[in-house]
Amino acid sequence: MDMDLEEGWRLQPLGGDTGKAFMGTKAEKKIFLKQNASPFLAALSVEEITPRLVWTKRMSSGDVVTAQEWLNGRTLSRAEMKSVAVGHLLHRVHHSTLLKEMLHKVGGKVMGPQELLTELVNRLSKTLLGHPLVKKTIELLRNQIDQLDESHYEVCHGDLNHKNWLLSDSGKLYLVDWDSAKFANPALDISMLLCAYVPVSEWRTWLENYSGTKVTGKMAECIIWYSCLDCLNTIQNGYESQRYHMMNKAILLLSEIQNK
């Protein structure tokens, strides 16, 4: 792909779902290049949540290419997602005034519980809509939606897969791939992480490390609501991709959460 780079730069595709990420190399220099990355990457760079932004360039095609410093490191393992460091960085994201201001400027999407629930129900297959536990959970979510504290929203990443967490060789932790960023209740991110990586028996400890305070009844209710929503999304994803092990695992987790 032609990115209108200076002569001598070579591009190597880095894979991924979008096919828009590349490593650029020239002599001993390396940079991370991405086409049409999240427009508030500059704020993420300033907050040191992503690797440093080197430059931004609009190509003749109209696409925008961003270049970030190349850091040697690795993605986190599934087990490492329970770490205190992950919770602390996520807390910084959810409480950054700069990120909030920048996402407002670029027209960040707002997703409240009603929008999220409607979106989910619309994508659930007819087969799953007839499943007793799924049916019961949707009714539960509808009945409890007015009890949620939705007085303010924060910047949420929206895709906390362990492969989006980068640990550099110097020990610095970063959160990358912000294409799904939105304004929402932080419980959206938190529940996504808890459901995927933390045993239910350890949720309270993780939440206290994240927030630095004891878990209140209101906070627990909010986390349960968003966790049930996340399980339903995972069930649908497993059904669509015919990954039935993933689907059944999410069904068991959903049952465990509701019986907690």
Active site amino acids: 159
- What is the identity of the amino acid at 191? S
Residue whose structure tokens are 């991370």 = 32
| Alpha helix ranges (H) inside the chain | 41-46, 84-94, 97-105, 113-123, 126-129, 132-144, 187-197, 203-211, 217-240, 244-258
Contact by Cβ (8 Å): 43, 102: yes
- Alpha-carbon distance 83 to 61, whole Å? 42
- Alpha-carbon distance 30 to 9, whole Å? 9
Handedness of CA 209, 94, 225, 215 (dihedral sign): positive
> Minimal CA–CA distance to 156: which of 179, 176, 186?
186
